[in-house]
Amino acid sequence: MTFFTSLALKGYLYGISWKFVNGTSLIENEVGAAIWRDFLPEALATGSFQAKPDPEVSGQGLEAVWPACEKLKKGGISAKKLVVTLE
């Protein structure tokens, strides 16, 4: 029994219905355009929507990628975006 089949069966037994939503379906319907074209560009520009969590810049250049990966591997990075700039 697959994972999703198992979830569907458990949901059915408890009277819970669910529906799988594929993120790529947003390309084909009005929801994607409403978010990505109509709302998000202006909201980010005005600051009414902010990308969170704030990034933690770990270094610059390709040579900083491996140390950043090691930092992630060690742990201690919680609720942060670890960023390596490639300018």
pLDDT digits (tens, 9 = 90+) for 15-32: 887 776 677 777 788 888
Alpha-carbon span 45 to 60, nearest angstrom: 25
Question: 78 falls in which pLDDT band (50, 70, 90)?
Answer: confident
* C-alpha gyration radius of the chain: 20
Alpha-carbon span 27 to 25, nearest angstrom: 5
Q: How many CB atoms lie within 10 A of CB 58?
A: 20
Give this prediction's pTM: 0.46
**Which tokens is 61 given?**
């250049």
pLDDT digits (tens, 9 = 90+) for 47-57: 999 988 888 89
